[in-house]
Amino acid sequence: MKKIIVKNIALEKFRTFNPWIYKNEIKKIPKDLKSGEIVEIYSQDKEFLGIGYANPLSKITLRVLSFFHKEVIDQKFFEETIRKAYEKRKKYIKSSNAFRVVHSEADNLSGLIIDYYNRYLSIQINTAGMENFRKEIVNAILKVIEPKGIYEKSDEKARKKEGLETEEKVIYGEIPDKIVIEENGVRFNVALKSSQKTGFYLDQRKNRKIVSDYVEEGFKVLDLFSNTGGFGIYTGKKGADFIKFVDISENAVFLIKENAELNNINNIQIEKNNVFHFLKYELETQNRYDLIILDPPSFAKTKHEKAGALKGFKYLILNSLKLLEKDGLLAVFSCSHHVDLDDLKKVSLSASKDTKIPVEILEHLFQDIDHPYVLNIPNSLYLKGFLIRKL
């Protein structure tokens, strides 16, 4: 097994069990190292630090799989690691038949995502290190979970950075066009072959319930960036009088209608539109809402995009406040690691100042438990938000 020597600046990461080691934190890489190859990791003082896989093509050049222990990375390793993650989810997720089984480095499998949808799986193999163990990973999944089918939806951008091609396909069994899942008594159609990401935003499960618990009969709800209608459908089940969904995706808009029918919700309006454009003309109407949900896609995939993202968030929050009735509620989320909770609060405070509308924070909201936030891995906390009331 080849050896990689890291610089002293990387030692703190090993002491705090942070598995991402960047290229500038590495002292020496073997010249004949293959992308994703398993390596032993040492300090400049020849102290053994762990086992991981390395890819010279990637900015995150080294990903640690085992700290301070010479773990053998083989079929048994993947079976044991996936089983541990799967059993943990079955223990904690009681309200749904859909959940994330493996959440990359938060489950000690950096570069691998596995989502469970009522006996069917959607997976992402996003790094060269995981790609090299594709056969072992699939075999481990079949042994531990025994799914009816597996569909691969690997992240094209992530794989490109690793020097890998991307292809979406069924890799085991059969995948139906629609899979019906249920969470907290609400049912959804999931179309793995045409959906975004790995199929459905499972990380918002807890937040959909928290936000919808504030809904009262007669509420008018506006679900922006609604995707397949998760938040809005929940509010309909809680007695909302009217729900308007806005999303730019044709596939998402089609599934909103199906999901509403699946839950016997008829009091809806669906608009295929750019949310920024929609808000501009909605303000010119008499339409006002008791609850608005803002759950946009990641505006800042890098720290260089943060300033533009905050500008976008301010526009959305400011205009949403104007559309709210007195005592109305606004749920705001950021799924970007680079836009944190304090950033959202500062932008909201600025929007409050400009609109002369004070606001009260009712709830702080984070990703659900099947998307673990490991304190040692800062990037594992990515979804954050809050529910505020217009005073």
CA 226 to chain centre: 15
| Alpha-carbon distance values, 149 to 103, 146, 156 (Å) | 19, 9, 21
| From 44-53, 187-196, 235-244, 369-378, the region with the lowest mean pLDDT | 187-196
Mean pLDDT of 102-129: 97
Fold classification of 2-67 (topology level): 2.30.130
Burial class (CB in 10 A: 0-12, 13-18, 19+), 250: exposed
Question: What DSSP assignment string belongs to 313-380?
Answer: HHHHHHHHHHHEEEEEEEEEEE--TTS-HHHHHHHHHHHHHHHT--EEEEEEEE--TTS---TT-GGG
Among 89, 128, 91, 90, residue whose Cα is nearest residue 112: 128
Whole-number percent of the chain with pLDDT over 90: 91
H or E segment to which residue 177 belongs: none
pLDDT of res. 232:
98
The dihedral formed by the CA atoms of 300, 306, 309 and 315, expressed in degrees to the nearest 10? 160
Three-state secondary-structure class, residue 3: strand
Among 66, 44, 200, residue whose Cα is nearest residue 129: 66
> Distance (Å, rounded) from C-alpha 195 to C-alpha 203?
15
Residues 6+ apart with CB under 8 A from 230: 188, 200, 201, 204, 208
Mean pLDDT of 172-198: 91
Q: Given pLDDT bands bounded at 50, 70 and 90, which one contains residue 151?
A: very high
What is the CATH superfamily name and number for domain 75-173?
RNA methyltransferase domain (HRMD) like (3.30.750.80)
Q: Strand pairing of 268-272 and 242-247?
A: parallel
| From 43-47, 74-78, 242-246, 333-337, the region with the lowest mean pLDDT | 333-337
Per-domain residue ranges for the chain?
2-67, 75-173, 201-390
Residue 198 has pLDDT above 80, yes or no: no
The residues facing 289 across adjacent strands are: 324
Q: Given pLDDT bands bounded at 50, 70 and 90, which one contains residue 195?
A: confident
pLDDT of res. 4:
97
pLDDT of res. 303:
80
Among 45, 97, 53, residue whose Cα is nearest residue 73: 53
Residues 6+ apart with CB under 8 A from 14: 6, 41, 49, 50, 64, 67, 68
**pLDDT per residue as tens digits for the range 312-350:** 999 999 999 999 999 999 999 999 888 899 999 999 999
- The answer to whether 219 touches 239, Cβ cutoff 8 Å, is yes
Q: What is the CATH number of domain 201-390?
A: 3.40.50.150
Task: Cite the DSSP H helix spans in 145-285.
Answer: 156-161, 205-212, 230-237, 250-262, 275-282
Q: Which two tokens stand for residue 85?
A: 């993650």
Whole-number percent of the chain with pLDDT over 70: 99
Residues 6+ apart with CB under 8 A from 191: 177, 178, 179, 199, 251, 255
**pLDDT per residue as tens digits for the range 56-114:** 999 999 999 999 999 999 999 999 999 999 999 999 999 999 999 999 999 999 999 99
- Give me the count of residues in the chain: 391
Average pLDDT over all residues of the chain: 95
pLDDT of res. 167:
84
Q: Which two tokens stand for residue 109?
A: 């499998």
> Distance (Å, rounded) from C-alpha 53 to C-alpha 64?
7
Strands (E), 174-318: 179-183, 186-190, 220-224, 242-247, 268-272, 289-294
